[in-house]
Structure 1
């Protein structure tokens, strides 16, 4: 979730669903934005005439997409609306879980009470970053039964877990900025003095990866899982950090991987947020201007520009489709490369 969220709804030929969300007819899906080629290297990633399809619209702030291979559908969040959606080619976008996050009595404590980042664990269950309950929970995709996985560090409630990445060994990296809380860092219910990046191991032990970032947000692992990427959605320091990981899963080295300040100063909407990788290690990172396509060395070779702030992205279908949650819409674009699919 980016602190500069903005909502820009636009008209399209669509069938209106409950909750104001609309899904474009399959034969008449509109396209949005454009793909900006900044290097010939992008030719290996995407066709020059590739279309960015708008699949659904009318969300408050769409986030956290994850593809469920067993069933062939996408699940994603509308964080402020407190709703989780399911999208499939045959059914479009339908409500999957409501509320997706906070389900208690009315309160002014939360500015965004719903689910945010999503990922699948080794069992195929869905792991959910829950802003309102300030926890990570597991939900059975068939029964929708929720189980809290973790909600505290050293006895103190998390701020609002935002995004997560699951390793092949079952470890979970997640970020915990204050975006779910009214007042952010000044929230009276904020218990932790920092906004952390954490490692939750399969044995239940919880370790701090970094407690020095201002607004840690999106998180992703490289294909070999030896590097962790973390987006920092701070307008005064919009960067993507890279952590080289040791055998214990903790950092042995950290550095700024990409500085998005020039793009922000140039007027690109949005801040560093969610991200995913292809099998060759290219990073598809949302940031000022759209989805930034970065080489493993941090070179910006192109931008998937949707004309609005972009929250997150994930590979799905046969691995060559990039789904993008961008402000009020869900979109997709076909790529030449194959992505890391949960």
Structure 2
């Protein structure tokens, strides 16, 4: 396992049922005056719940007004709402077979809203992209293979307006990762799953592709690379058919990574103006569409992912053992 997105997990965590609105350590660091139009200088980072092993993949469910997020190693999806607090929504969320020992992370990872009444899931344990009915929790596997080979462990996903799903496939779910005997392909790729079920590999040269997002105009695909040797956020130009025209380093986090800024590039959210809220060393980095750093939401520990919810201005952050919330001035 690279010295990576699991850097700061520690023992002695509070029980996962513990919920609090306490202001957490960290806060907002302003790097550019333009941040004041995105997050107020006195914005408070609140801890909503803690005690998770590795929280990930948050998605806001507007119909019902609640948040779902994964605890990937524990093979669970949790639910949180203002009215009901914290509860377990789905367990197991991923692998439900007889031998979980072949996985280091058997649960669901990235979650996004799907067609009405469903979510779409990057399912580590089933090594698949799946759809889950929220009412019945019935799971349908949408894609499990590329050219006859099983995926490694799909990690994160985003859906375009035409229904295509872009997703990453690092080996994080497998025990021994790249050395796992279950790994059927050498590449850790980035893929597109079309509505007709066709699967296309778009990128095959990234070591640990992780988070994925689309720009508001859907012309740019962002992919984070959680490799301590090359912690970067990539941007790929998309053609009209959803293919890749070219890639470039959008943000290089190498100079920021270290013991005082735990975490690596992972999940991200995009606001309506195209700004990225990208997890990386130290927390969540607020970046303009041209890559300028406006500020850092310091989560006092590694952050895994984030999403907008409630009225669209609330940023929910999954940060290792914690679920955090920050009110912003923008909308997702």
**TM class, shorter-chain normalised?**
over 0.9
Q: Secondary structure at the match of 2:255?
A: helix
CA RMSD of aligned residues (A): 1.6
Q: Secondary structure at the match of 1:42?
A: helix
| TM-score normalised according to structure 1 size | 0.93
Q: Is 1:84 the counterpart of 2:77 in the alignment?
A: yes
Structure 1 residue 10 displacement after superposition: 7.6
- Residue 17 of structure 1 corresponds to none
Structure 1 residue 4 displacement after superposition: 3.4
Contact 2:117–2:135 at 8 Å: present in 1 too? no
Provide, for residues 182-228 of structure 1, a one-character-per-residue CA deviation record: whole Å limited to 9, x for no partner: 11101111001100000011111110110111000000000111110
Report the Cα distance in structure 1 between the residues aligned to 2:64 and 2:128, rounded to whole angstroms: 27
Report the Cα distance in structure 1 between the residues aligned to 2:264 and 2:277, rounded to whole angstroms: 14
Q: Is 1:24 the counterpart of 2:24 in the alignment?
A: no
- Residue 15 of structure 1 corresponds to none
- Residue 296 of structure 2 corresponds to 303
- Residue 267 of structure 2 corresponds to 274
Unaligned runs of 5+ in 2: none
Contact 1:78–1:115 at 8 Å: present in 2 too? yes
- Residue 73 of structure 1 corresponds to 66
Provide, for residues 85-127 of structure 1, a one-character-per-residue CA deviation record: whole Å limited to 9, x for no partner: 1110011110000000110113421001000000112334111
More displaced stretch, 272-281 vs 114-123: 114-123
Task: Choose from 25, 31, 50 the match for 2:43.
Answer: 50
| TM-score normalised according to structure 2 size | 0.96
Report the Cα distance in structure 1 between the residues aligned to 2:39 and 2:49, rounded to whole angstroms: 22
More displaced stretch, 125-134 vs 269-278: 125-134
Q: Secondary structure at the match of 1:43?
A: helix
How many pairs does the alignment contain?
Answer: 330
1:213-292 correspondence runs (5 A): 213-265=206-258, 267-292=260-285
Unaligned runs of 5+ in 1: 13-19
- Residue 113 of structure 1 corresponds to 106
Task: Choose from 302, 305, 329 the match for 2:322.
Answer: 329
Structure 1 residue 31 displacement after superposition: 3.0
Provide, for residues 42-69 of structure 1, a one-character-per-residue CA deviation record: whole Å limited to 9, x for no partner: 1111011000010000000000000011
